[in-house]
Chains A and B, each alone.
Chain A
Amino acid sequence: MSTFLGMPSLPVYGTGNLHASESFPKAAHRELGNAQLRVNLGHATHTIRDKRIQVISELPDWEHLRDTGSAIKEAVMARLPELLEQFEENFTSRGGVIHWARDAGEANAIVAGLIRETGETEVVKIKSMATQEIGLNEYLEGQGISAFETDLAELIVQLDHDKPSHILVPAIHKNRTEIRDIFLREMPSVDPKLTDDPAVLAAAARAHLRRKFLTARVAVSGANFALADSGTLAVVESEGNGRMCLTLPETLITVMGVEKLLPTWQDLEVFMQLLPPSSTGERMNPYTSLWTGVTEGDGPQTVHLVLLDNGRSAALADEMGRSALHCIRCSACMNVCPVYERTGGHAYGSTYPGPIGAILSPLMTGIQAEENNSLPYASSLCGACYDACPVKINIPDILVHLRSLDVDSKRGKKKIPTQMDAGMKAASWALSSGKRLGLLEKGLPLGRLATGPAKKITKLPGIAAGWTQSRDIPAPPPQSFRTWWAKEHRRPKIDAAPAPSPEKEDQR
C-alpha cells in the first residue's frame, strides 16, 4: 500500500473530452454557416422547450421543488467526502466493488482492466455523459475492445463516427433523412429499401441492437443518481435499452462522477420530479432502473462502480463556481439558450455543450486551459438558462466569475495589452467620474460632425468592427443630457416643468 504523504496538490484538473480544440467564436462561425443544422436545431429545441413549459405549468410546487433540489445539492457538496464514504460502505457491503479514478486516464484504464478480466472483447453501453467525458469508447477501441452504444441517438452518432452535440439528444443536429443515410451506409444487414419514417428507422435500430443485447456479457453504464444511505445506483431513461444493459449481462461496470450522490432515498423523490420535465418535457420518464449491489440469481453477478473526479474537486474548490456541480444533466439550459440554438453543441468542443458546458468545462479543466477560456464569453447573459435550471444554478453569475478569472489570469503576462484591455482601462478612468465623463461628452458634436450627412456610423476599426458587421451606430446627439441639465438648472426655474419649444425638443 502507498505511504500517505499529505494532501494531494489541488487542484487536479480534468482530462479527456473536456477541452475545446478551437476558440468558441471560431467554431461558432463555422457552425453558423450550416443552414441545415440551424433548421434542425431550431425545430428540435423549440419542440422540447414548448413541451417543458407545458409540463411544468402543471406543477404548482415547481419553484418549491427547484429550491429543494438546489438545497439538497448544496448540502451534498458541503459534505461530499463523508457521503462518498457512506456510499462506498453500503455499496461494498451489498456485493459491489468500488474503484476511484482521479482523471480520465485512470478511469479508462480501470474499465479496460475490468473488461479484460472477463475475457470479453465486446461490451454494450448505456448512454452516459461520464464515459463520453473520459473518451472511453475511443480508449477501449485502442485496447481491442468494441463498445456498442445502445441508446438510439448515441447509436446514430457512433455509426456516423460523429460526436454528440447535446447531452440528452446527442443526434439533435441530424434529421431523419440524414439518419436513414447513416443506417444504409453503416448498419450491417439493413434493408436497402429503408425509408426515413421514424418508426421504420427505430425498427431497424431495434433489430440491430437486439442481437447485441442477447450476446453481450459485459455492460458499461453511467448513473444519474447514487444514494448514500443504501448504496443504490439509478439510471433514468426513455428507451428501455438501458434496462436491457443493466439486467442481461453478467458483469456491469458503471462510471459515475462523484457529484452525483444524494444523501437519502427520500431525496430521489425531489429529483424524479425535477429531471423528466426538465429534460424531455415528460411528466415521468418511461424507465427508471435502480440497483443495489448484487442480487443472487438476478441480473449481473459482478457489479463495479468507478467513481470519477476528473476535475470535479477543482470545481468544488471554486467557491463561486462550485454550484455548477449541482447539474443533473437535464439539458434544459441548452434547450432555451439562444446561443446554443444557433451554434449547436459541437461549437463548445467539450462533451458538455450549452450554458452548463460553458461553465463546467473551464471549471473542470481550469480557466487557463487553452481555448476553454473562450467558453465563458459564449453568452449574452440573457439569463434564460438560470430560469430553466431545475436546480437553480446561477449560470450567468458563474459565467461572469469565470470571465474575471480569465482576465486576471492574463494580467501582467502580455507585453502589449490587447485592445480590450486598453479600452477597459481607459473606460474605467473615464467612467469613474462624472466630471471626466462630462468633459468627454463635450466632444459629442465632433463625433456628430464626423458621421456626415447620413447621421450614422457604418464602419468601425479594431474590435468594434464586430459591432458594425451587422449594425449601424447613430450619430451622437449635439449635447449630452448632463450638459442640457446643467444649462436648465443654472438659474432657478420659474415653472416646475417648462415646455421646451418644438425646435429645441427636436434638437437631439
Chain B
Amino acid sequence: MRIALFATCIVDAMYPATARATVKILERLGHEVVFPSGQACCGQMHVNSGYLKEAVPVIANHVAAFDAEDYDVAVAPSGSCVASVKHQHPMVARSCGDTALEERATAVGAKVYELSELLVDVLGITDAGGQLGSYFPHRVTYHPSCHGMRLLRLGDRQAQLLGSVVGIELAELPEADQCCGFGGTFSMKNADVSSAMLKDKTAKIIATGATLCAGGDASCLMHIGGGLSRQGSDVTTLHLAEILASTVEEPASVTGDIRVSTRKATR
C-alpha cells in the first residue's frame, strides 16, 4: 500500500522522532510511505480560535498538498489533526462559500486515518508484539486524547495496541477520559482553568507509578509533559508511535531532551 504521511506541524517541527517512528512502523509492515512535501498544518489552531478567514489558506494548502499526491490512504500520528481534516475542513470551506474546496477537502478527509485507526482497521494489527515486533519494557500509563476519543471514536484501539507491546506494563489512569486542559489557545486564553485541569491530570499520572504517560496526540503530550517538567516530576510523556516502533534491537529512548524532563535515565 502507498501511504501518505501527514506529519502534522507540531510533530514535524517539535517531535520529528514521532513521525520517524510512524514511517518505521509502516515500512516494517512492507508499505511504501510518501511525504507530500507541500503539507504544513491542518489549520485547527486558527479554526478553534475563531480565525476562520486566516484558516482558509492553511486548509487550502493542506488539501492541495494531498490532492497532488498519488496514494491509497493517508495517516497522521494525531487524532486531533485527523478530526480537523475530516470535520473542520469541509465545514470551513462551506462557511466561506467555497464549494470546490469543500468537495476536495471532503475527498482528502475521506482518505486520512489516525495511526491506531489505520493499524487496527485497515492493516489488521491486533498484536503489536507479534506483528510489529514492538518491545518496550517500562511501566506506562495512557491518556486518551479528547478528539481521538470523541470525534474519531477511536475507542480502545490505542490502548489495545499498547497493551499488546511485549514487555510493557500498562498502568490504568483513573478518570482517563478527563481532558488534560490543553485545548490549543485555551491554554493561554484561560490559562488558570487550563492549569487547574492539568494539575489534576498530572497528579493522577504520577500516582500510577508509571515511568511515562503515552498518548496519540503530540500536542496533549507536550502539555502534560510540560506540566510534569515544571512540577519537577521524573515522569515524562511519549507518543504511541514511538512505543510501537520500539524493538529489542532498537529500543526507544525514554529520556530524550525533547520530552522536557532531563532528570535521569529511567531505562
Question: What residues of B have a CB within 8 angstroms of the CB of A466 in the complex?
Answer: 187-189, 191, 194
Partner among A428, A474, A481 whose Cβ is within 8 Å of the Cβ of B258: A474
Given contacts A407-B51, A434-B38, contact A470 B191 (CB under 8 A): yes
B143 at the interface (CB under 8 A from A): no
Partner among B24, B50, B61, B223 whose Cβ is within 8 Å of the Cβ of A432: B61
Nearest neighbor of B189 in chain A, beta-carbon distance: A377
* Residues of B222-265 contacting chain A, CB below 8 A: 222-223, 225-227, 229-230, 249-250, 253, 256-260, 262
The stretch that binds B, out of A269-277, A324-332, A450-458, is A450-458
Partner among B14, B52, B147 whose Cβ is within 8 Å of the Cβ of A474: B14
Partner among A378, A380, A469 whose Cβ is within 8 Å of the Cβ of B197: A380
B189 touches A434 (CB 8 A): no
A472 touches B230 (CB 8 A): yes
Given contacts A382-B146, A496-B27, contact A477 B35 (CB under 8 A): no
Majority SS of interface residues in chain B? helix
Question: What residues of B have a CB within 8 angstroms of the CB of A455 in the complex?
Answer: 257, 260, 262
B40 touches A434 (CB 8 A): yes
B16 at the interface (CB under 8 A from A): yes
Question: What residues of A have a CB within 8 angstroms of the CB of B19 in the complex?
Answer: 481
A441 at the interface (CB under 8 A from B): yes
Question: What residues of A have a CB within 8 angstroms of the CB of B13 in the complex?
Answer: 437, 441, 444, 476-477, 480-481
Question: What residues of A have a CB within 8 angstroms of the CB of B192 in the complex?
Answer: 25, 28-29, 32
B107 at the interface (CB under 8 A from A): no
B49 at the interface (CB under 8 A from A): yes
* Smallest beta-carbon distance B211→chain A, Å: 17
Given contacts A342-B197, A424-B49, A431-B41, contact A508 B187 (CB under 8 A): no
A479 touches B16 (CB 8 A): yes
Question: What residues of A have a CB within 8 angstroms of the CB of B260 in the complex?
Answer: 455-456, 472-474
B191 touches A473 (CB 8 A): no
Given contacts A378-B190, A428-B51, A470-B227, contact A434 B9 (CB under 8 A): no
B58 at the interface (CB under 8 A from A): yes
B193 touches A339 (CB 8 A): yes
A476 to B17, CA, bound (A): 12
Nearest neighbor of A380 in chain B, beta-carbon distance: B183
A477 to B11, CA, bound (A): 10
* Smallest beta-carbon distance B241→chain A, Å: 12
A32 touches B196 (CB 8 A): yes
Partner among B39, B49, B183 whose Cβ is within 8 Å of the Cβ of A379: B183
Question: What residues of A have a CB within 8 angstroms of the CB of B7 in the complex?
Answer: 481-482
B253 touches A380 (CB 8 A): no
Task: Give the number of residues in A that approach B within 8 Å (Cβ atoms).
Answer: 78
Given contacts A455-B257, A470-B199, contact A379 B24 (CB under 8 A): no
A24 at the interface (CB under 8 A from B): yes
B90 at the interface (CB under 8 A from A): no
Question: What residues of B have a CB within 8 angstroms of the CB of A475 in the complex?
Answer: 257-258
A420 touches B193 (CB 8 A): no
A338 touches B197 (CB 8 A): yes
B151 touches A474 (CB 8 A): no
Partner among A402, A428, A497, A508 whose Cβ is within 8 Å of the Cβ of B257: A508
Given contacts A444-B13, A482-B7, contact A338 B179 (CB under 8 A): yes
B146 touches A25 (CB 8 A): no
Question: What residues of B have a CB within 8 angstroms of the CB of A379 in the complex?
Answer: 183, 186
* Residues of B1-41 contacting chain A, CB below 8 A: 7, 9, 11-17, 19-20, 24, 27-28, 30, 35-41
| Apart from A400-B50, A407-B52, A470-B227: 7 A-B pairs, beta carbons within 8 A | A381-B183, A427-B46, A427-B54, A473-B260, A482-B12, A482-B35, A496-B27
